[in-house]
Each structure stands twice: as structure tokens, then as C-alpha cells.
Amino acid sequence: MIKVVFINADGEIRHVVEPASDNQYEDGATNEEGLLQKHVAYDADMADLFANKVWSYEANDWVVRAERPSVHHNWTSSGWWFNENAMWSDVRNSRDIILIQSDWSQLPDTPLTDVKKAEWAAYRAALRDVPLTNADVTSLDDVVWPTQPED
């Protein structure tokens, strides 16, 4: 018995099947979606294959892939590349949640004094500026967030 992995142009496994017979999929053929079909042993460690290996079309074999630097890195046949748009989307989503959680501070019936309300308004402005004030950041861990005022 075998499993068949379907590999994209970047060498990554897209999906796996366990065919009814070993000759149902031709090893090394390309399917209608343009994915390479490769036979692997039925007892192959699929978790390891998915996480740590990629198919090298040049070597015609599995090669070890370097560890993913962050969740914002995507694999291509030439290696990991930083997906800046994905990272900034996550930063903005986090920022938007914090803004929503601080909306109460700007309502007309807030229990805050005018001074405290102004502190919260400045904090919220700083939150909106996070993408500008962190323009060179390449990791969520490096984003500098403004400090929330005391109530």
C-alpha cells in the first residue's frame, strides 16, 4: 500500500490520498491541476513530510526545508519570503480590536474626567498611528504599542 502526495510548483504538498490500488496514480505524473503526483510509503511520517520537507524538482527528491521564520513567511521554490501584507493585516486587526475595546472612553456619558478622556483620545490616536510608527518592523513581536492610560 502507498499514499500519493500532490505537490505544487513550489515543492509543497497540497494534499494526500490513499488510493484503492497502488497503480491508480502514476508516480511522477502531473494531474489536471498541474500538481506532481508522488508515491510515498504508506507508513511515511506525513507530519514530518508536511512540516520539514519540500520536493526539489532539480534534485528529483525530497529536501529538508529550513524552519519557517514566522507565521508571516510563505514558502516559494526559492525559499521563505516575508509576507509584509499579512503581517500588517494582523497588526491592524489587533489594533482595531484594542480601539473597539477603548471606544467607551470617548462616549459622552463616560465616567472619565476631561483630562483622562483626553489621555484616552491621545492613546487612541497613537493606536491609529501604529503602522506609521512601526514602518520598519518585520515581526509582530517587534511592534511597539502605545501604553494604555490608567482609568
Residue by residue, DSSP assigns 32-82 as: TTSPEEEEEETT--HHHHHHHEEEETTTTEEEEPPPP--TTEEEETTEEEE
Q: Give per-residue burial for 46-60: e unless 16+ CB within 10 Å, then b.
A: eeebeeebbbeeeee
Query: Three cell numbers at 143?
Result: 511592534
Maximal CA-CA distance, the chain:
76
- Using the 8-state DSSP alphabet, how is residue 104 labeled? G
Query: Three cell numbers at 84?
Result: 509584509
- Using the 8-state DSSP alphabet, how is residue 30 labeled? B
Domains in the chain: boundaries: 2-65, 84-142
Residues of the chain with confidence (pLDDT) below 70: none
What are the pLDDT digits (tens) for 78-105?
899 999 999 999 999 999 999 999 999 9
pLDDT at residue number 19: 95
Helix (H), strand (E) at residue 115: helix 114-128
What are the pLDDT digits (tens) for 120-131?
999 999 999 999
Which amino acid is residue 92, in one-letter code?
R
Question: Quick one: how far is CA 112 from the chain centroid?
Answer: 39
What rounded mean pLDDT belongs to the chain? 94
